[in-house]
Amino acid sequence: MKIITIDDSSTMRRIIKNTLKRIGYGDEILEAENGKEALEILENNDVDLIITDWNMPVMDGLTFVKKIRANKKFDDVPIIMVTTEAAKEDIITALKAGVNNYIVKPFTPQVLKEKIETVMGLKE
């Protein structure tokens, strides 16, 4: 499975990458520091799953999700948002923008695994 992880924190990208490997999804992982960089990477790469942060400089996660959902090439790629934002209105905003699932930081490998299985249709 080819996954792109988008986070302005290099530590978080590293943690997500490492966690993905541990839970068996480490085949191919692309990285971007913000939404703009991710859009550039996605111009030349197809991915099976997008894992994005919300609060990032240059282009935040919400804007990125809206842009991705407006693009026919990526409108059905599952997106998981991993963020510190835990307010109900923020979660609803993200889901309405096109996010398939939502994780509040800090997360455990088990939670990430379950959410991936859910959005990939591997779990009821």
Partner 1 sequence: MAPDQSEIDALLAEFSKKDSSELDSIMDSYEEKEESEIENKAMTHKSEGSEPLGEGDVEAEKLKGVRLPPKEHRVIDRLDEINRESEEKVNKLFEKLESISAEVDEVENLIEDIKPYVNKHKEFMDFFVEHFPKTSIKKNYEYFKNIVNILNEIETKVNSIRDNTFDAMDILQFQDITRQKIERVISVIKALHDYLNNWFASDYESVPRARVAHTIVEEHEKEKVDQEVEEIIKQMQRGEIK
- As a whole number of Å, the CA-based R_g of the chain is 13
Task: Kindly report whether the peptide bond that precedes residue 106 is cis, defined as omega within 30 degrees of 0.
Answer: yes
Strand-pair category, 79-83 with 49-52: parallel
* Structure tokens belonging to residue 44: 């030349």
Which parts of 21-50 interact with partner 1 (CB under 8 A)?
Answer: 22
Which parts of 61-90 interact with partner 1 (CB under 8 A)?
Answer: 83-88, 90
Residue from 1, 3, 2 nearest 82 by CA: 3
Q: Which is nearer to partner 1, 1 or 103 (CB)?
A: 103
122: contact with partner 1 by CB under 8 A:
no
Of 18, 24, 28, 71, the one binding partner 1 by CB under 8 A: 18
What minimum distance in Å lies between the beta carbon of 110 and partner 1?
10
The answer to whether the beta carbons of residues 102 and 95 sit under 8 Å apart is yes
104: contact with partner 1 by CB under 8 A:
yes
Catalog residues that contact partner 1 under the rule CB under 8 A: 7-12, 14-15, 18-19, 22, 54-58, 60, 83-88, 90-92, 95-96, 101-109, 111
